Amino acid sequence: MADKKNIEPAIVGAEQLAKEFKEHSVAEFFKKNKQMLGLYGKVRTLTTVIHEYVTNSLDACEEANILPEIEVKIEELGTEYYEITAKDNGPGLTKETVGKALGQLLAGTKFHRMIQSRGQQGIGSAGCTMLSQSTTGKPTKIITGTGKGKPISLELTIDPKHNAPKIANLKEIDKNFRGLAVRAKFKGVLYRDSEQGPLEYLRRTAIANPHAQIKFTDPTGQKFLFKKSAAKVPKPPIAVRPHPKGATVDEMVSLSKYTSARSVNSFLRNDFDRMGQKSLEAVTKKVSFDMKKDPKQLRWDEAEEIVKAFKEVDFIAPSSDALRPIGEERITKSLQNIVDPEFLHVMTRKPQVYKGGFPFQVEVAIAYGGKSGRTVAGPTGQEKRLEVMRFANRSPLLFDTGNCAITKAVHSIDWKRYDIKDIDHAPVTVLINFISVYIPYTGAGKQAIADEDEVIEEIRLALMQTGRKAGRYISGKRREAERLMKREIFYKYIPEIVGALNQITNDSKETLDKKLRKMVLTKLKLDDAKEAEEEEAKNGNENGKAKEEKPKKEEKSKKEVKKPTKEKKKVKGEKNAKAKK
């Protein structure tokens, strides 16, 4: 009898393999790869679900010019089993769009537009519906009202095989309601009041969105209210066209198939940003084909010529109309309301560009003292640690900290230069908001920003500018504390010195006491002024080196126009006399 182990497997033909060939929908893919959506880890998954519901509510309210009022409630139903309710006062969803918005992955209004928004892919809320369904087998319950007609309620599930929403129990309800309310159950998740929990996520959301009011009820029934500190909805960003410097050959061919333009010339002028007549003429000179041809007939090699020409032509920087920063005034009010620091400095940098085509902007705030920093349990009790609040388009980033460009930029700064000796153990809160029409996330979970060179450098410059302001305050506070300590030490010995001087000079003790106290104060003020000058010289500014070089140039120029000496005047006079003769 032949040994079964030695029998070689039969060769499988292509026809047999073809029978195993199957198509899979995007819903099936993400159902098996939930970690790519940030849905892994019990605490992280729960926070991510809250994040998806809240960001959708904020975006919807802002697009409808409504001051957001959001309510979030988490109820514990059993061990690692929770029910989440999220409600807003936004524009709501219609009967035709509610299924696609919450029950179809990669369906939405944001991905195809060049505009700043919190969500981008159209995966989040639909991913939550799928997670609820796959962990509990129960549908997501939804109530939506648009303000026109009666609100509707329904139960929603997803058909993973076809990535399609399935709606059940659809009915109108007699209730005065406008907005969207979602209720879903989840198993295998865990609520924790921690730095990465839902409460901290909502706290940071309130800081970055001072125009929103957020109510939160945790599983114990404890209620939290984050009041709005701004009375107006931020102006909506304006969608912009793609910039030529960021164009690819594939994008060029794709756009040309759907343009309404009748020539390549008008296609480039109408469908790309910053494409003026001079730029168009420069591009035309660098290509070998007729630019009057129908753009729908544009070949791949011709598109390559255009993209190559784009790289050789100088264009104006992309428009920043698509960006809407929080604003220095709003961040200041928000942090004062929630963090209540001793010192606060906020700055918004000018828009920049990365990857040649995507505009972006950085906002930075440094808060010191008060409630700034994280409170953690230390060896000697509660102590303060550095707190870095990361945001992307006003949305908090709580996870993947070490893999984020913001974290790398913060830790690349030499904080000792700004009188913060140990930044990790300082009562400091650093807020950084990165905004762009396209956030370069490291994954679909949208929790970390890729370390593009332009991005890290811009964040570093912003941190150094704000760091200098903080350093001046901290060094001033330190000098004041040292001055008070010195004064107390000197004052401690004044009575003994007064007694000795009284015996020697016979002056009254009262007069001697006043004179000695005045001497102490004068001395301390002089020391304080001297130290302040040294601190100012140490800190300098970004243009310090340039300023150091400038006086040298001025000295050189003075030497060049230096007045002539007596000897030179004498020689010059003799030459003039000879010339007259």
Same structural domain, 398 and 529: no
**Residues 213, 273 within the same domain:** no
Q: What is the pLDDT of residue 6?
A: 65
Quote the pLDDT of residue 89.
95
pLDDT single digits (tens) 181-191: 999 999 999 99
CATH of the domain at 286: 1.10.8.50
Are residue 264 and residue 343 in the same domain, yes or no? no
Compute the radius of gyration of the chain from its Cα atoms: 34
The strand ranges marked E within 259-348 are 343-348
Domain-embedded: residue 516: yes
Mean predicted lDDT score pLDDT of the chain = 82
| Positive or negative torsion for Cα 527, 530, 534, 540 | positive
Residue written as token pair 């000897």: 567
**Residue 543 within any structural domain of the chain:** no
- Domain stops at, among 192, 226, 260: 226
User: How far is residue 343's CA from residue 366's CA, in Å, rounded to a whole number?
Assistant: 8
Res 563 pLDDT > 50:
no
Asked if residue 478 and residue 455 are part of one domain, the reply reads no
Are 177 and 149 in contact, with CB atoms under 8 Å apart? no
Q: What is the DSSP string of 186-212?
A: EES-----STTSHHHHHHHHHHH-TT-
Question: For the chain, what percent of residues have pLDDT higher than 90?
Answer: 39
Dihedral sign computed on CA atoms, order 72, 73, 74, 77: negative
301/344 same-domain check? no
Q: How far is 572 from 567, CA to CA, in rounded Å?
A: 9
The residue out of 195, 226, 257 marking a domain boundary is 226
pLDDT tens column, 87-134: 999 999 999 999 888 888 765 544 445 567 665 444 678 888 988 998
275: which residues sit within 8 A by CB, 6+ positions away?
244, 268, 269, 315
What is the pLDDT, as a whole number, of residue 501? 77
Its sign, for the CA torsion 446, 450, 454, 457, is positive
**Same-domain pairing of 195 and 336:** no
CB neighbour list of residue 226: distance below 8 Å, 6 or more residues apart: 202, 203, 205, 206, 212, 213, 214, 215, 216, 338
In this structure, are 383 and 525 located in the same domain?
no
Please check whether residue 556 lies inside any domain of the structure: no
Residue that the structure tokens 């009666």 belong to: 150
Whole-number pLDDT of residue 463: 94
Q: Are residues 365 and 444 in the same domain?
A: yes
The answer to whether 311 and 245 have CB atoms below 8 angstroms apart is: yes
Pair 484, 382: CB distance under 8 Å: no
User: Does 20 reside within a domain?
Assistant: no
Q: Which two tokens mark 460?
A: 């570093």
The label of the residue with tokens 């004498």 reads 570
Residue type, 414: D
Q: Do 212 and 70 contact (CB within 8 A), yes or no?
A: yes
pLDDT of residue 538: 56
Q: Which pLDDT score is estimated for 481?
A: 65
Per-residue pLDDT at 471: 84
Do 459 and 478 belong to one domain? no
Within a domain: residue 128?
yes
Q: Report how far Cα 529 is from the mean position of its chain's Cα atoms.
A: 39
Domain end residue (candidates: 193, 226, 259): 226
Q: Which tens digit of pLDDT belongs to each residue from 128-156?
A: 898 899 899 999 999 999 988 899 999 99
Q: Are 129 and 103 in contact (CB under 8 A)?
A: yes
* pLDDT value of position 82: 97
Q: What is the pLDDT of residues 474-519, one digit of tens each?
A: 777 666 666 677 777 777 777 877 778 777 887 787 887 888 778 8
∠ CA 318-324-330, rounded to 5°: 145
- SS3 sequence of 493-561: HHHHHHHHHHHHHCCCHHHHHHHHHHHHHHHHHHHHHHHHHHHHHHHCCCCHHHHHHHHHHHHHHHHHC
Which two structure tokens, joined as six digits, stand for 115?
């505009």
Tokens coding 428: 């400091």
| CB-based contacts of 517, cutoff 8 Å, min separation 6 | 491, 494
With respect to residue 234, please indicate whether it lies within any of the assigned structural domains. Answer: no
Comparing CA positions, the residue from 214, 259, 277 lying closest to residue 67 is 214
Could you tell me which residues are beta bridge partners of residue 143?
153, 181
**pLDDT value for 498:** 77
Q: Are residues 51 and 149 in the same domain?
A: yes
pLDDT of amino acid 265? 93
Structure tokens at 37: 């959506």
- 83 and 212 belong to one structural domain: yes
What is the extent of the structural domain holding 393? 328-464
Q: Name the more confident of 507 and 291.
A: 291
pLDDT at 223: 96
Residue 237 lies in a domain: no
User: Is 6 among the domain residues?
Assistant: no
Classify the phi-psi angles of 179: left when phi > 0, otherwise alpha if psi is within -120 to 50, otherwise beta: left
8 A C-beta contact, residue 6 and residue 159: no
Distance CA 26, CA 260 (A): 31
Q: What is the pLDDT of residues 7-62, one digit of tens each?
A: 667 676 666 666 665 555 656 665 666 666 667 789 999 999 999 899 989 989 99
Task: Tell whether 281 and 337 lie within a shared domain.
Answer: no
Nearest to 196 by CA among 314, 68, 41: 41
Q: What's the rounded Cα separation, in Å, for the pair 391 and 122?
A: 19
Query: For the packed helices 198-208 and 42-63, what is the interaxial angle rounded to 10 degrees?
Result: 30
pLDDT of residue 240: 79
* Reported pTM: 0.71
Residue of higher predicted confidence among 482 and 160: 160
Calculate helix-pair angle for 300-312, 277-286, nearest 10 degrees. 120
pLDDT of amino acid 13 = 66
Nearest-CA neighbor of 474 among 526, 422, 397? 422
Which tens digit of pLDDT belongs to each residue from 334-390? Answer: 898 888 888 899 999 988 877 756 788 999 999 998 889 888 877 777 788 899 999
Rounded distance, CA 483 to CA 489, Å?
A: 10
CA distance 341 to 339: 6
What is the CATH classification number for the domain harbouring 422? 3.30.230.10
Residue 224 clears pLDDT 50, i.e. is over it: yes
Q: For residue 53, what is the enclosing H or E element?
A: helix 42-63
Q: Among residues 132, 181, 134, 118, which one has the least CA distance to residue 153?
A: 181
Greater confidence, 449 or 563? 449
Give the C-alpha separation, 18 to 285, whole Å: 51
Return the CATH number at 129: 3.30.565.10
Task: Tally Cβ neighbours within 10 Å of residue 303.
Answer: 22
Name the domain count of the chain.
Answer: 4
Which position has the higher pLDDT, 66 or 251?
Answer: 66
